[in-house]
Every structure is written in C-alpha cells, then in structure tokens.
Amino acid sequence: MAKILVTGGAGYIGSHTCLELLNTGHDVVVLDNLSNSSVESLNRVQQLAQKSLKFVEGDIRDSQILDRIFQENTIDAVIHFAGLKAVGESQQIPLAYFDNNIAGSISLVQAMERAQVFKLVFSSSATVYDEANISPLNEEMPTGMPSNNYGYTKLIVEQILEKLAIADTRWSIALLRYFNPVGAHKSGQIGEDPRGIPNNLMPYVTQVAVGRREKLSIFGNDYNTVDGTGVRDYIHVVDLANAHLCALNNRLTSQGCRAWNIGTGNGSSVLQVKNTFEQVNGINIAFEFVSRREGDVATSFADNKRAIEELGWAPQYGLEDMLADSWKWQKQNPHGYG
C-alpha cells in the first residue's frame, strides 16, 4: 500500500477519494487551505473509514509547507485536486484563478521534483475540449481555447504537465478529464457543500428540494437536444473517486503523461435530471425556463472507452443512484457541514 498526498482533499471530490483510499488500505496526507471546504468533511471520512489520515492546513503555493510534508512523510504519489473551480468567478477575478490553479500546480510539481516524487494524478475537466467537437468526446479530439478563465487554467496545467513529462521521463502523470460529478457517499455523511448560491445544477436542485431556494432556473429550452435543455454526462462522485485509485495503480507502473475521460458515456438533459430527481425522491422541484447561460454548450458527454480499457475502471452507478444519493446527503445535512 502506498502513502498518498491529496491536495484539496477536504473538498467535494477529494473527500470521497480520501475515503476510498483509506478503505483500500492506503495512507493519506491531505493538504488543504480550507478556502472552499470544511475540516468536518475529513472528520467524517475518518469516522466512515474507521481509520485516520494526516491533515495539514496550508496552501499548495507555500513551498515550505510542501517541503515539510515531503520531508516528514514518505510520499509515493500525489493526487492534486486543490484549486478554484467557479466558472463565473473566474471571469471576475482571473488572477486568483491563475495563481491558485496554475502557479499552485507549478509550486506543487516543483516540490515533488525536489522530493523526487514523480507520480501525479491531476483533476482536469471536459471543459478542455474544443467546443466544435461533437459528443461523445474522446481523448484524441483536439483541445480548444475554453470560453472562461477557469477552463483556461485546466488547459494550461495539462499542457505544462505534458511538457514536463516529455522533458523528464521520470514523471508519470494522469490527466483525468471529469465530466459532471454529482452524487454523494451512500452514507449521506459526506457530499457537495458549495458556498453561497450554487453554480452547478445538482446542488441547486437539492437546495430547492430542501427549501433553501425557491425554484430552479433552467438555462435555455431551445437547444438542439432531446427536449431543448442542455445535455451533460453526470458521473457519480464515488465512481469518480475510484477512477483516481485506478489511475494511481496505472501510474505506479507507467511513465509519461496521458489523459483519460471520466464519465458514464451517457448524456442526460436538465429536464431529465429534474424529472428523475422528482420520481426517485418523491419531491417536486419548482422551476422556470430562463435564457441560456453564456458559455454553455448544448451537449457534452464522454467516450469513456480509454479509461475502461486502460485503467480497468468502470462506472457502477446510474443517474437514479446519483440523484438518490445527492438527496440523501442534502436531506441529512440541510446546511451542508454547517
């Protein structure tokens, strides 16, 4: 079993991944500055796993903290979630995004190089694909210039890591291009806890369901899709967490830098998500149609064959599970971690 440094491990996807790592016998060190999370997520991860992890509160841009972590722990590999992720905010405060996501990632790989740790799994995004590509999106398709600064940081970090692995063959890097992570751990003890008004569909739906928001605004009903609303590939966060373990195993025995899509391969429209949520959970979701959101595409879903064939990973959960688990988390924790 390996000792893994998880940056951003207190966050939504990071906490679910820490739990799967502990459950499979790995040792975990988390570095998180708690800028978008609560340490309570890690308390619950440890309760669920009945095992402890090491938590360091700090920033990936702080090279002293990074050096100390690598000196005090024999780290085998790093899973790098830390970063800012709000698309709209990235248009308002681009420098914060360039600093946290790009400079932060450079700071991390510099520290890894000093510590001679060369195995890395990076949280990338389907947003790196050129918008002209037609779904299902596969990894051979060209990347494009993302329409927002958040997406731009993911593309730049991917390119930096690719160049790094070409220049120095000791590196072994997985770029995981997530589609739309939703859902929560079956226990309902950990889940997504966005600050302020949710930007993403699923937390908005669950906050309407729990009475924190009046109604869902559906952004556009005139897209060229099954029912006019946007189509996305929703992936259960536990399936996504497990993809990191598969990528880690793959990287322990390989070199270079390679990208994998992590999605189910199925697209669901906003109305299908809303209607299925209502059916599965027996709750009505008030909604209205409003105009399209700037920057949105009609349809995005994955070709996930590469991950299935090369990583030995496969999604276990369907849309109904995702919606039931999202609701269980929100119902048990109406105000998230509080």
Residues forming contacts to ligand NAD in the complex (CB under 6 A) are: 7-8, 10-14, 31-37, 59-61, 81-85, 100, 104, 123, 125, 178, 181
Place of tokens 């994955």: 302
Give the rounded distance of the alpha carbon of 228 from its chain centre: 27
Tell me which stretch binds ligand WQD (CB under 6 A): 214-222, 309-317, 321-329, 330-338.
214-222
Closest separation between CB of residue 199 and ligand WQD, Å? 6
From residue 2 to residue 41, the character string flagging contacts with ligand WQD as x (rule: CB under 6 A) and all else as - is ----------------------------------------
Q: Tell the smallest beta-carbon distance from residue 37 to ligand NAD (Å).
A: 3
For residue 318, which amino acid is it?
G
Tokens 């009505």 sit on residue:
284
Q: Which does 213 bind (CB under 5 to 8 A by kind): ligand NAD, ligand WQD, none?
A: none
Cα 233–chain centre separation: 13
Stretch near ligand WQD under the rule CB under 6 A, chosen from 155-163, 188-196, 210-218, 316-324: 210-218
- Single out the residue of 71, 48, 53, 49 nearest to residue 10, CA to CA: 53
Residue 262 contact partner, candidates ligand WQD, ligand NAD, none, CB within 5 to 8 A by sort of partner: none
Contacts for 322 with CB less than 8 Å, ≥ 6 apart:
182, 183, 202, 234, 235, 236
Backbone torsions φ then ψ of 79, nearest 5 degrees: -110, 120
User: How far apart are alpha carbons 132 and 338 in whole angstroms?
Assistant: 41
Catalytic residue check, 150: yes
Distance CA 225, CA 257 (A): 35
Out of 12, 150, 204, 317, pick the active-site residue: 150
Residue 200 binding ligand WQD, by CB under 6 A: yes
| Side-chain-side CA neighbours of residue 157 (13 Å) | 35
Identify which of 175, 56, 67, 50 has the alpha carbon closest to the alpha carbon of residue 124: 175
Looking at 51, 54, 61, 293, which residue binds ligand WQD (CB under 6 A)?
293
Bridge pairing between strands 231-232 and 268-269:
antiparallel
- Is 230 a residue that touches ligand WQD (CB under 6 A)? yes
Nearer to ligand WQD, 25 or 142 (CB): 142
The interface region with ligand WQD, picked from 11-19, 27-35, 161-169, 197-205 by CB under 6 A, is: 197-205
> What CA–CA distances, in Å, run from 271 to 2, 258, 290?
43, 35, 13
Q: Are residues 181 and 240 in contact, defined by beta-carbon separation less than 8 angstroms?
A: yes
Q: Give the C-alpha distances (Å, rounded to integers) separating 329 from 9, 64, 193, 259.
A: 18, 37, 10, 31
Q: Is 236 in the site for ligand WQD (CB under 6 A)?
A: no
How near is the Cβ of 125 to ligand WQD at its closest, in Å?
A: 3
> What is the token pair recorded at 316?
């276990």
Which of the choices ligand NAD, ligand WQD, none does residue 324 contact, using the CB cut-off of 5 to 8 A by kind?
A: none
Which residue's Cβ has the minimum distance to ligand NAD? 11
Pick the binder of ligand WQD from 28, 201, 245, 323 (CB under 6 A).
Answer: 201
Location of structure tokens 């949280």: 123
State the minimum distance, in angstroms, from the CB of residue 277 to ligand NAD: 18
The site for ligand WQD (CB under 6 A) is made up of 85, 87, 125, 127, 151, 180, 199-201, 204, 216-219, 230, 232, 270, 293, 296
Active site residues: 150
